[in-house]
Amino acid sequence: MMLDFLEYRIKKLNNKEININKKFIIYVMEASQREDYNHALEFSIYQSNILKKPLLVIFFVTDKFKYSNIRYYKFMLEGIVKTKYEIESRGVKFLIVKDTFVNGTLNLSKDAALIVFDKNYLRTQRIWRKKVSELLDCASFEIESDVVVPVELISNNLIPYAYIYRQKLEKIRDIFLKKVPKLEPKIKSIDIKIPNYQNAFELPSLNNNFNILVSYILNELNIDKSLSTVEKYYIGGSDEAYKKLNDFINNKLFRYKEFRSHPDKDYTSNLSPYLHFGQISPIKIVMEILKYYEINDDNVKSFFNELIIWRELARNYVLFNEFYNQYEGLPLWAKNTLYEHINDKREYIYDLKDLEEANTHDIYWNAAQKEMLLTGKMHNYMRMYWAKKIIEWSKSPKQAFDIACYLNDKYLLDGRDANGYAGISWCFGAFDRPFKERNIFGKIRYMSDKALKNKFDIQKYLDKYL
C-alpha cells in the first residue's frame, strides 16, 4: 500500500458514498490536536488531492463539556491556536468554531464530500461520531492516530492483565513504528471564503500572538473560571511537548527505570497532558527516542511499558468495559471483597470538601492533593497512594470511586482520559491480583505511608507542595 503508515488505521463509519458534487473534504479534529504525526490530517490531505477538492480542518469548542474549566481549556486552546497556525502554514484552512461536535459537524456537512474524524476511545466521543455518521448524507471515516498499535488489532475483548496485552502487542509492535509523512496539499484552501459558518471565531489577525488569541476565545466561553491556571508548570502546544520530550531524552531517560517511582525527583517525561490532548503523538515519542537509544535498553523498555502497554491497555479498558468510569465496572472479585468489608470501622471519614481542600490528618496525602491543585498534575506514585487512601477514608468504596474520578477529572490537565479511569480502577483491584485480606480493603492491594518513606525522600516531596 502506498500509504502504508495508514494500514489498519482507517475505518469507515457509515455506508454512505463520497458525495462528489460537494465542495470540501472536512476533517473534524478532536482527539489528535496536532499538525505533526497526525494520521487523520494526512489521510484528509490525501483525499483532498485525489478528489481535487479543498480541505477544511475544523475544531469545535463548546462550553457544555464535562467540568469545562479554564485550567484545562487554556492548556487545550494554547495547543489549538498553534496547531491552526501550523496547519494554515501548509495552505489548509483551519476553523475554530463555537459549537458542539454533533451539531457543528451536521451543520458543516452540507458542503462535505466526505468527513474525517480522528479516533477517540472514550464513550461520549465514540457516541458523537456514531450519531453524526448515521445522520450524514456523505461518507465518514475514522482514522486512528492515538496509539502505537491500533487497540482493536490486539483484541476485540477486554484484556484483564498487562502481561497478556504485552505479549500480544510486542509480536506486532515494530511494524507500527513508522514515520508519518507530510503530504503536500495540491489545492490550498487557506484563502477560501466560508460565509455560512456563523459560529467560527473571527480571530484578530495577530499571526502568532498565541496568548492574545487564547484569551480572546476564553472570553467568549461560559466555563468555570474559578480554578487557577497552571502556565507556570505546563503551557499547551506541540512545541512545548517537544521541549519536554527533548529534556526527557537528554536528561532523564537514562535513569527512568531507577527513579520513575520517586516523587521527590523529576525523572518522568511529564508528557501526559500533551498526550491527553493529542498535542504529541506516541509514535513520534517512540521514534525520537529510538534515534538515540536501542529498543532493548532497560530504561527504554521501562518507559515503553508505560507509554505503550499501560496507556494502550487503558484504551482497551474503556473500549470494552461499558462501565469503565463507574464502580460497577470493577472486576467481580474486587467488588465482592470490598463489599465484605463495607461495615468495617473507618478510623477517619472525609467528605468531598475535606479532600478537595487537602484537609486531612495525613500530610503526605495533603501534599499530593496540593500538587494536583497547584500544578494540574500529580506524580504517578503519589496518585496510587492518593486513591488508595480515598478508599480507606470514605463511607463506601463506591463513594470513594466517584470522588477519585471527580477530583481527577476536574483538576488534572491529563484528567478525563482513559488512563485516569484505568488508573483509578487499578487502585480498586482492576488489572491486579488479590493480596492478604485486611480491614476495609479486603483483598485489594494496600499502600501505607511507610512504603513512601522507605522508597524515597518524602520530606523533599513535602517541601515542594506543603
* Binding stretches for ligand FAD (CB under 6 A): 260, 268-272, 275-276, 306-307, 310-311, 314, 380, 383-384, 387, 408, 412, 414-415, 417, 419-420, 422-424, 426-427
Closest distance of CB 32 from ligand FAD, Å = 14
Q: Which is nearer to ligand FAD, 189 or 269 (CB)?
A: 269
Q: Which is nearer to ligand FAD, 272 or 369 (CB)?
A: 272
CA 279 to chain centre: 9
Closest distance of CB 382 from ligand FAD, Å = 9
Q: Which is nearer to ligand FAD, 140 or 408 (CB)?
A: 408
Q: At what angle do helices 397-411 and 418-427 cross, to 10 degrees?
A: 150
Contact 433, 163 (CB under 8 A): no
Q: Which is nearer to ligand FAD, 115 or 230 (CB)?
A: 230
Amino acid of residue 7: E
Closest distance of CB 139 from ligand FAD, Å = 32
Closest distance of CB 410 from ligand FAD, Å = 11
Rounded Cα distance between 148 and 254, Å, is 22
Contact 95, 192 (CB under 8 A): no
Closest distance of CB 188 from ligand FAD, Å = 35
Q: Which is nearer to ligand FAD, 216 or 259 (CB)?
A: 259
Closest distance of CB 308 from ligand FAD, Å = 8
Rounded Cα distance between 266 and 269, Å, is 8
Rounded Cα distance between 29 and 129, Å, is 12
Closest distance of CB 381 from ligand FAD, Å = 8
199, HSE (Cβ side, Cα atoms, 13 Å): 17
Closest distance of CB 270 from ligand FAD, Å = 4
Angle at Cα 235 formed by Cα 262 and Cα 56, nearest 5°? 130
Q: Which is nearer to ligand FAD, 53 or 276 (CB)?
A: 276
Q: Which is nearer to ligand FAD, 305 or 396 (CB)?
A: 305
Determine how many CB atoms are found less than 10 A away from the CB of residue 410. Answer: 19
Residues 6+ apart with CB under 8 A from 255: 267, 299
Closest distance of CB 304 from ligand FAD, Å = 9
Residue with cell 488505521: 9
Q: Which is nearer to ligand FAD, 9 or 410 (CB)?
A: 410
Contact 212, 204 (CB under 8 A): yes
Q: Which is nearer to ligand FAD, 108 or 378 (CB)?
A: 378
Q: Which is nearer to ligand FAD, 83 or 268 (CB)?
A: 268
Phi and psi torsions of 115, nearest 5°: -120, 140
Closest distance of CB 299 from ligand FAD, Å = 11
Closest distance of CB 275 from ligand FAD, Å = 4
Rounded Cα distance between 318 and 332, Å, is 17
Q: Which is nearer to ligand FAD, 7 or 258 (CB)?
A: 258
Q: Which is nearer to ligand FAD, 337 or 425 (CB)?
A: 425
Closest distance of CB 183 from ligand FAD, Å = 28
